Amino acid sequence: MRIVYVASDQHVPGRTGGSVHVLEVARGLAGRGHEVHAVVHREDGVPHEEERDGVFWHRVAWWPGPRIFRFRARAAVERIIDSVEPQAVMERYYNFGGEGILAAEKAGIPSLLEVNSPAVDHPGSLKAALDAAALVRPLRRRRERLCRSATALVSPLVEIVPTFARSKTVKVSWGANVDVFHPSRRGAELRARLGVPPGAVVVLFVGSFRPWHGVHVLEAAARRLSGRADLHFLLAGGAHASEGAGYRGRRLGSLAYEEMPELVASADVGAAPYDTRRLRQLRLGFYWSPLKVFEYMASGLPTVTISRPPLDEIVREEQEGLHFREGDDADLARVLERLAGEAALRARLGTQARARVAETYSWARHCEQLEGVLRRIAP
């Protein structure tokens, strides 16, 4: 099947979860025998068009440049669709996007909308209030038009799509690249370069340091455990590298994604200390793709996270990891202290985590799910 996959605001290659998602989906579908044309954002020093990883990459731009004008990429997307003549069009949802879905509708081509963020307003939404002030609610009308125009939708949480579109929405899980993220990537030399004391248990956090990622909770727990020489904390992401503020370890700053498999495998515990109170949209449910969790698990790490669906369904208590009370740094410290003292528990949870993600939460499994939907709408 020839597929045009539209994610015009994403940079590939890139360091964000969105960039990783687009790359893995595009090459995963290509690996299943499909001809994939991915439309991503243009950037300096990268070819406007190229074939790489089995995918045909088309890089586009629009004017004015900010992301909220993404819909202005539609003319470029229409040209690509006219040239490629795809059998299906996929689009990564964005409220100010729609260039792929609407171009497909115009051309009479089946379309699939990937809904990774809410296409409905959460309680207390400022955007909803501003939208209502415009009387005709242009934002809601825009996103509802995209959901109506799409032949089908996929989402990790059906509650984040409008009620009228739920009957044509398929629930899918995101995943990890279980071939790249693997326990065999563990590196003693990397641990030494990062200043990890011999024999110490490394607790790793990977993320963009957004408030709801819970870095403040993890660092507070780390400070509670500063007296333990056998615990070392590494936090990858954020704008700057620095020594740990009152705890043993350090912030590593932003790292290239290619460095992550070795770093993750070289840790002993993965931390995903989400604080969902810091993001109002999560009142709808935890729809965000927990990429870091899947990659921890694929690398054979026991994962510590909060007891909230679907996180507690992915990381089951005492099976793939341990839970702590959300926002409670003392409880997180208790759980980390337990893991630090029980090597056999870490090994058992890590082995089970690897097995679970390889079976259920891999990108290969995700692309198999997408393929099923695509074949149904474009037989």
Candidates 327, 328, 330, 314; CA nearest to 270 is 314
* Residue 141 amino acid letter: R
Encoded tokens for 339 = 């893991």
Domains in the chain, start-ordered, CATH in brackets? Answer: 2-173+363-377 (3.40.50.2000), 183-360 (3.40.50.2000)
- Give pLDDT, residue 284: 67
Q: What is the pLDDT of residue 278?
A: 81
Sorted by sequence, the CB contacts under 8 Å of residue 84 that are 6+ apart come out as: 2, 4, 37
What's the rounded Cα separation, in Å, for the pair 18 and 93? 11
Q: Give per-residue pLDDT as tens, 258-288.
A: 999 999 999 999 999 999 888 777 676 676 6
Separation CA 6–CA 24 (nearest Å):
14
Provide the pLDDT confidence category of residue 123 given band limits of 50, 70 and 90. Answer: low
Q: What per-residue string of b and e applies to 147-177 under the rule 16 or more CB within 10 Å gives b? A: beebbbbbbbbbebbbeebeebbeebbbbbb
The one-letter amino acid code at 290 reads: P
Give pLDDT, residue 310: 87
Instruction: Identify the pLDDT of residue 133.
Output: 56
**pLDDT greater than 90 at residue 190:** yes
211 vs 344 pLDDT, higher one: 344
Per-residue pLDDT reduced to its tens digit, 48-89: 999 999 999 999 999 999 999 999 999 999 999 999 999 999
pLDDT of residue 333 exceeding 60: yes
Does residue 96 register a pLDDT over 70? yes
Residue 358 has pLDDT above 90, yes or no: yes
pLDDT of the residue at 38: 98
The model's pLDDT over 311-329, given as tens digits with 9 standing for 90+, comes to 999 999 999 999 999 999 9
pLDDT at site 191 = 98
Alpha-carbon Rg of the chain, whole angstroms? 21
Do residues 30 and 1 lie in contact, with contact meaning Cβ atoms separated by under 8 Å? no
CB atoms near residue 265 (< 10 Å): 22
> What pLDDT shows up at residue 279?
72
**Percent of the chain whose pLDDT exceeds 90:** 82
270, containing H or E segment:
strand 269-272
Percent pLDDT > 70 in the chain is 94
Most distant CA atoms of the chain, gap in Å? 65
Residue 94 — very low, low, confident or very high, per pLDDT cuts 50/70/90?
very high
Mean pLDDT (the chain, rounded): 93
Question: How high is the pLDDT of residue 173?
Answer: 86
219-244 pLDDT tens trace:
999 999 999 999 999 999 988 999 99
pLDDT in tens, 124-145: 555 555 555 555 577 788 999 9
User: What predicted TM-score, i.e. pTM, was given to this entire model?
Assistant: 0.87
